[in-house]
């Protein structure tokens, strides 16, 4: 490798300013966009080194997802579409923080430490969202890749799930799908139309849908796909990113989930399903207003239980014996866990917050569904599971054939709002359910999620998939005492706190049988934390 160009650009164009320390967190680097140009340049370099190390295409997505429009960020995607291996997060942090004059030495040390063949070609697949800052940061990332001789595959302005899809397709020679943005849209739309068929005699399901694009790239992608879905889905788009609406502002999946309220910019029409995606379209949340105008949320837990229940049904009907499981996090509503495990008989596991942890646990099953309550999730099929489903289909098993199309409509490479939405629509139509019917399957326990500002969030550490605190030592016993008190002992109450992986706060979650009790519990646990 030749470091001349890297040296020159670091000295001239991409000088590190300020004495800020950057940390590669749960979702990569994420902060105010103005501070990120140098970080993006250096992550271009890191992606090249990672590509050489893995001897494969590596992905780089420039986005700050559901965060405000003034933020931005970058995540590195490994060859099979997973988040970059945890061991390399530290390398990313070292490169991001190296002094300008130390950068080349830091890269050389990394090459040596990981025993990397410098002659190995490197290819980085780059995507970005619609944020105003994404163009400049994209230029910096590409400059970083090229400075150390890497090649760039441009995806343009794309959703995060498309970037993951493109990385996987590039690395498996196209067997997952055609490695283009059009290939992605076509794969999903074709599978969806096949599953929906034509007509049918639904009395409860209606194909009308309101789509809240969060004024971001999800809106743009839906504009591209909606015409090809039109035969089975009548989508009316709002917050599509073309007007002057602000990204994620009072709309989108994160806003709807956290405020538990109807998205701005979408007409309040009773009984119509509204689908909200987040700023990079890897999360999806459904909601509706009933005839009294009351708001109802159908979040990631609700989607997960719908999908897992449906897959269980298909497997039973197809008489294919495969191990199906659902992975949730501590945030999953207790009622959803009870419903899927107790009523539908699907085993449930609990993982730490963050896609990489859920993804990892889902791999323990032949078919692993994973979802965070915030609407991020997907389904993973093992190679063996796909093989037995395809064999059954080839032998004329029509339910197995349907399962093959279900596999095709799912984006296994990462949680994907649009793919998840299409699958939900397939299931609702097949069950002939209205959104009210879906919502009636179980009743969420009232819950409250709050942020507590503390001097140092790292004093709180957790275990048991973040459901119990280890330090400070007195905290968990105090929470347990509270839960045993007469106020909460018989109220189906549950509470936990964990340090955020993306913000300088501690999060407190509480649920209980009534709104008042959930609020009271969350206040009391917050006081214990503070
Ligand atoms: C990141 C995670 C998301 C998680 C959130 C929690 C990825 C790609 N994203 O956005 O899954 O729900 O962090 O944030 O892993 P918190 O730690 O601040 O609560
Ligand atoms: Zn996102």
Q: 300-336 pLDDT, tens per residue? A: 999 999 999 999 999 999 999 999 999 999 999 999 9
Over residues 75-94, the mean pLDDT reads 96
100 lines ligand 1 (CB under 6 A): no
What pLDDT, on the 0 to 100 scale, is given for residue 19?
Answer: 76
pLDDT band at 502 (very low <50, low <70, confident <90, very high): confident
Of the candidates 199, 215, 219, the one whose C-alpha atom is nearest the C-alpha of residue 207 is 199
Q: In this structure, are residues 400 and 315 in contact, taking their beta carbons and an 8 Å threshold? A: no
> What pLDDT score was predicted for residue 214?
98
CB 511 within 8 A of CB 445: yes
Spacing of C-alpha 201 from chain mean position: 34
Helices H / strands E in the chain, number of each = 18, 19
Find out whether 507 is annotated in a ligand binding site. Answer: yes
- Residues facing residue 298 across a β-bridge: 286
pLDDT at 201: 76
CA distances from 297 to 273, 290, 429, 506, 512 (A): 10, 11, 19, 24, 17
Residues 163-189, buried b or exposed e (16+ Cβ, 10 A)? bbbbbbbbbeeeebbebebebbbebbb
Asked if 255 and 263 count as a contact pair (C-beta separation under 8 A), the reply is yes
Q: Strand pairing partners for 275?
A: 211, 286
Let me know the angle formed at the C-alpha of 503 by 28 and 258, rounded to the nearest 5 degrees.
105
Supply the pLDDT for residue 20: 86
> Closest residue (by CA) to atom 3 of ligand 1?
354
Q: For residue 387, what are the contacts with CB-CB under 8 A and spacing of at least 6? A: none
The reply to whether 447-529 shares the fold of 300-411 is no
Q: Which residues surround ligand 2, an ion (CB under 5 A)?
A: 65, 278, 280, 282
- Residue 93 and residue 104: Cα distance in Å, rounded? 15
**Residue 26 Cβ contacting ligand 1 at under 6 Å:** yes
**What's the pLDDT band for 199 if we cut at 50, 70, 90?**
low
Mean pLDDT of the chain: 96
Number of Cβ within 10 Å of residue 25's Cβ equals 18
Q: What is the length of the chain?
A: 530
CA 232 to chain centre: 26
Query: What token pair was written down for 188?
Result: 């999903």
**Mean pLDDT for the stretch of residues 23-49:** 94
Residue 242 pLDDT level (bands cut at 50, 70, 90): confident
374 is in an annotated binding site: yes
User: Nearest ligand, CA of residue 508?
Assistant: 1
- Per the CB < 8 A criterion, the answer to whether 36 and 24 are in contact is no
Active-site option among 65, 434, 520, 522: 65
Side-chain half-sphere CA neighbours of 486 within 13 A: 0
Check whether 27 has a pLDDT greater than 90.
no
The answer, yes or no, to whether the previous bond of 412 is cis (omega within 30 of 0) is no
CATH topology of domain 185-298: Alpha-D-Glucose-1,6-Bisphosphate; Chain A, domain 3 (3.40.120)
Q: To the nearest 5 percent, what fractions of the chain are helix, strand and coil? A: 45, 20, 40
pLDDT over 90 at 17, yes or no = no
Task: Pick 447-529's CATH classification: 3.30.310.50, 3.40.50.20, 3.40.630.40, 3.40.50.2300.
Answer: 3.30.310.50
Q: What percent of the chain has pLDDT over 90?
A: 95
Q: How far apart are CA 60 and CA 149, in angstroms?
A: 16
For residue 439, the SS3 value is helix
Structural contact between residues 219 and 275, judged by C-beta atoms closer than 8 angstroms: no
Rounded CA-CA distance 425/126 in Å is: 31
| Per-residue pLDDT tens digits for 258-286 | 999 999 999 999 999 999 999 999 999 99
- Whole-angstrom CA distances from 458 to 81, 162, 303, 346, 464 are 30, 34, 33, 35, 17
What percent of the chain clears pLDDT 70, i.e. is strictly above it?
A: 100
Which superfamily is assigned to 4-157 in CATH?
Answer: Alpha-D-Glucose-1,6-Bisphosphate, subunit A, domain 3 (3.40.120.10)
Q: Is 216 annotated as a binding residue?
A: no
Using the mean position of ligand 2's atoms as its centre, give its distance from the Cα of residue 184 in Å.
18
Question: Is 65 flagged in the annotation as binding?
Answer: yes
Cβ of 355 closer than 6 Å to ligand 1, yes or no, is yes
Cα 181 to Cα 126: distance, rounded to the nearest angstrom: 12
Q: How far is CA 367 from the centre of its chain?
A: 18
Contacts of 78 (CB under 8 A, 6+ apart): 50, 54, 58, 59, 84, 85, 167
Tokens of 495: 């509470």
How many Å apart are CA 250 and CA 264, to the nearest integer? 6
ipTM: 0.97
Decide: 353 in ligand 1 pocket, CB within 6 A: yes
Active site annotation includes 65: yes
Cβ neighbourhood burial of 317 (10 Å; 0-12, 13-18, 19+): middle
Q: What are the residue ranges spanned by the domains of the chain? A: 4-157, 185-298, 300-411, 447-529
- pLDDT value for 164: 98
Distance CA 137, CA 152 (A): 15
| Intra-chain end-to-end CA distance of the chain, in Å | 51
Residue 504 has pLDDT above 90, yes or no: no
User: What are the tokens at 463?
Assistant: 């275990």
Each residue's pLDDT tens digit, 119-131:
999 999 999 999 9
Give, using CA atoms, the residue closest to atom 19 of ligand 1: 500
Mutation pick for ligand 1 pocket among 159, 353, 457, 462 (CB with most ligand atoms within 8 Å): 353
466-482 average pLDDT score: 97
Which CATH number is 300-411's, of 3.30.450.20, 3.40.120.10, 1.10.150.20, 3.30.2130.10?
3.40.120.10
The arithmetic mean of pLDDT across residues 391-396, rounded, is 97
């Amino acid at each position: 490798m030749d470091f001349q160009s890297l040296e020159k650009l670091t000295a001239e164009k991409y000088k590190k300013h300020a004495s800020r320390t950057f940390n590669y967190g749960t979702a990569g680097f994420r902060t105010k966009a103005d501070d990120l140009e140098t970080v993006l340049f250096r992550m271009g370099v890191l992606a090249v080194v990672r590509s050489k190390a893995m001897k494969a295409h590596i992905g780089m997505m420039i986005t700050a997802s559901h965060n405000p429009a003034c933020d931005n960020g970058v995540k590195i995607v490994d060859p099979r579409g997973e988040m970059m291996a945890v061991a390399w997060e530290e390398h990313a942090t070292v490169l991001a923080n190296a002094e300008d004059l130390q950068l080349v030495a830091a890269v050389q040390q990394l090459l040596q430490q990981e025993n990397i063949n410098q002659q190995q070609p490197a290819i980085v697949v780059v995507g970005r969202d619609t944020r105003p800052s994404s163009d400049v940061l994209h230029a910096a990332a590409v400059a970083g890749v090229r400075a150390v001789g890497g090649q760039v595959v441009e995806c343009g302005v794309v959703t995060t799930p498309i970037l993951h899809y493109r990385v996987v397709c590039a690395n498996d020679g196209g067997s997952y799908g055609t490695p283009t943005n059009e290939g992605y849209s076509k794969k999903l739309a074709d599978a969806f139309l096949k599953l929906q068929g034509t007509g049918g005699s639904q009395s409860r399901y209606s194909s009308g849908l309101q789509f809240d694009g969060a004024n971001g790239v999800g809106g743009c992608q839906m504009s591209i796909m909606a015409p090809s879905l039109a035969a089975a889905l009548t989508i009316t788009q709002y917050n599509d990113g073309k007007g002057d609406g602000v990204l994620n502002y009072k709309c989108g999946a994160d806003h709807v989930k956290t405020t538990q309220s109807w998205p701005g910019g979408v007409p309040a029409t009773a009984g119509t399903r509204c689908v909200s995606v987040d700023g990079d379209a890897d999360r999806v949340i459904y909601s509706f207003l009933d005839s009294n105008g009351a708001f109802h949320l159908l979040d990631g837990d609700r989607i997960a239980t719908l999908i897992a229940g449906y897959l269980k049904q298909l497997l039973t009907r197809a008489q294919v014996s495969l191990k199906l499981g659902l992975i949730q996090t501590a945030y999953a509503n207790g009622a959803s866990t009870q419903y899927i495990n107790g009523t539908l008989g699907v085993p449930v596991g609990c993982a730490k917050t963050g896609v990489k942890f859920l993804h990892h646990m889902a791999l323990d099953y032949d078919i692993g569904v994973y979802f965070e309550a915030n609407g991020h999730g997907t389904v993973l099929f093992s190679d063996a599971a796909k093989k037995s489903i395809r064999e059954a289909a080839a032998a004329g098993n029509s339910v197995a054939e349907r399962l093959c199309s279900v596999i095709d409509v799912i984006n296994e490479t990462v949680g994907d709002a649009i793919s998840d939405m299409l699958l939900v629509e397939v299931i609702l139509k097949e069950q002939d359910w209205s959104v009210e019917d879906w919502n009636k399957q179980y009743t969420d326990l009232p819950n409250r999620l709050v942020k507590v500002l503390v001097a140092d969030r790292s004093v709180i550490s957790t275990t048991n998939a973040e459901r119990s605190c280890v330090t400070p030592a007195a905290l968990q016993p105090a929470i347990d005492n509270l839960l045993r008190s007469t106020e909460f002992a018989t109220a189906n109450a549950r509470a936990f706190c964990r340090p955020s992986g993306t913000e300088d706060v501690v999060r407190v979650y509480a649920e209980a049988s009534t709104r008042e009790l959930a609020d009271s519990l969350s206040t009391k646990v917050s006081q214990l934390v503070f």
